[in-house]
Amino acid sequence: MIPASHGTPPVLGLSRAVRTLAIGVVGSMVMFATVGKTSAREVAADAWFQRDFDANLALCAVHDSQPDWCQKWINAMEGARPKTISLSVPEWQRLTFVDNMMVCSTLLPPDWCPAWRAAMKLVTQDPAYVDLVTAPAARRIKEEDERNARIQAWRTTLTHVGLNKVTPSDMDLIRKQVIDGNADAMEILAWMYMKGYGVPRNYGRAYEYYGRAILAGRNDLRPILDSLWPALNEAQKNELRFLFK
C-alpha cells in the first residue's frame, strides 16, 4: 500500500496539471509539444511539384548547385517510374533514373534520351506520380489538423474543469487519458473528486487517483495523498488497502 501520514484534507488549486497541460497535446498520452513552425500546408506547396519535367531536370542534373528539393523529386520519379511506363529500350532497364538523368544531361547524350524524356513527362502526368507526390503532404495535413483538434479539446476541458463546468465529453476525454495511463490526467481526476468538480466529492476516489498518479511517476503528489488519509472512513481505507496492497 502507498504509505499515508496524518493531516487534514488540503484545499488546493489544480497544481502542475493545469499549468503545464494547458500547453500540452493529447494523443495516446498527453505529451508536451508545440506545433511546428512550418505547417504541412506550406510543405505541400513544394517548388519541384510546380515545375515541369524539363525544368526540374535542368536544375537537378547539376550536382554542385542542386536545389534542396531535388532529392524529393528524384525519389518521386524513381517511385513512380516502374509502375507507369514499359521500358522498351535496354539502356533504360540497366540504368536508374538518376543515371539516366546524368547521361541525358551531358553534351553528347545517347540517341534514346529524347524518347526517355518524353516517357518521363508522361510519368509526371500519371495519377500514380501525383498520388506519390501529394499523399504524404495530405497525410501530414490531416495529422496536423487532428493534433490541433486534440490540443484545443484538451484546453477546453481544462478550462471547464477550472470553472466547474465539466461536460460529459470532458469527462470522457479525462477518463480516456486515465485509462491510457496518463499520470497528469489521473491528477486532474483526483483533484476533481477532492473538490467535487464535475463529479460528487469523494475523498476515497481522490485518494485512489492520486495514488495511481504516484505509481505512474508523479511522486510530487505524495504529500497531497498523505494528507487525505485521515479524511477517509474505515470502509474507504479498507478498500484502498486492498487496491494498493
Please check whether residues 46 and 114 belong to one and the same domain: yes
Please check whether residues 67 and 24 belong to one and the same domain: no
* The last residue of a domain, from among 125, 140, 172: 125
Q: Kindly state whether residue 136 falls inside one of the protein's structural domains.
A: no
Please check whether residues 158 and 209 belong to one and the same domain: yes
User: From the first residue on, what is the mean pLDDT of each consecutive set of 10 residues in the chain (245 residues)?
Assistant: 44 45 35 36 54 81 77 77 50 70 82 82 72 67 84 90 90 93 93 92 95 93 92 92 87
Tell the residue number behind the cell numbers 519541384, with chain if given. Answer: 48
**How far apart are the C-alpha atoms of 5 and 10, rounded to whole Å?**
13
pTM for this predicted structure: 0.51
> pLDDT value at position 20?
41
| CATH number, domain containing residue 182 | 1.25.40
* The last residue of a domain, from among 64, 90, 125: 125
User: What is the count of structural domains for the chain?
Assistant: 2
> pLDDT value at position 169?
93
Please check whether residues 214 and 175 belong to one and the same domain: yes
Q: Kindly state whether residue 135 falls inside one of the protein's structural domains.
A: no
> pLDDT value at position 34?
33
Q: Kindly state whether residue 139 falls inside one of the protein's structural domains.
A: no
> pLDDT value at position 24?
36
Which DSSP letter does residue 31 get?
A: E
Q: Kindly state whether residue 65 falls inside one of the protein's structural domains.
A: yes
Q: Kindly state whether residue 134 falls inside one of the protein's structural domains.
A: no
Please check whether residues 165 and 225 belong to one and the same domain: yes
Q: 32 in helix, strand or coil?
A: strand
Which DSSP letter does residue 217 get?
A: T
Beta bridge partners of 26: 30
CB contact set of 156 (below 8 Å; sequence gap of 6+):
170
Please check whether residues 23 and 50 belong to one and the same domain: no
Rounded to a whole number of angstroms, the CA Rg of the chain reads: 30
Please check whether residues 169 and 236 belong to one and the same domain: yes
DSSP one-letter string for 93-114: HHS-HHHHHHHTTSSS--TTHH
What single letter denotes the amino acid at residue 78? E
> pLDDT value at position 187?
93
Range of the domain at 215: 16-29+149-243
Q: Kindly state whether residue 177 falls inside one of the protein's structural domains.
A: yes
Q: Kindly state whether residue 186 falls inside one of the protein's structural domains.
A: yes
The cell numbers describing 237, all together, are: 481505507
Please check whether residues 160 and 239 belong to one and the same domain: yes
Distance of CA 3 to the CA centre of its chain: 37
Q: Positive or negative, the Cα torsion across 216, 222, 226, 227?
A: negative
Please check whether residues 113 and 156 belong to one and the same domain: no
* The last residue of a domain, from among 125, 157, 176: 125
Q: Kindly state whether residue 3 falls inside one of the protein's structural domains.
A: no
Q: Positive or negative, the Cα torsion across 192, 34, 152, 216?
A: negative
Please check whether residues 108 and 181 belong to one and the same domain: no
> Phi, psi at residue 24, to the nearest 5°?
-95, 175
For residues 219-241, b (16+ Cβ closer than 10 Å) or e, as one string? eebbebbbbbbebbeeebbeebe
> pLDDT value at position 8?
39
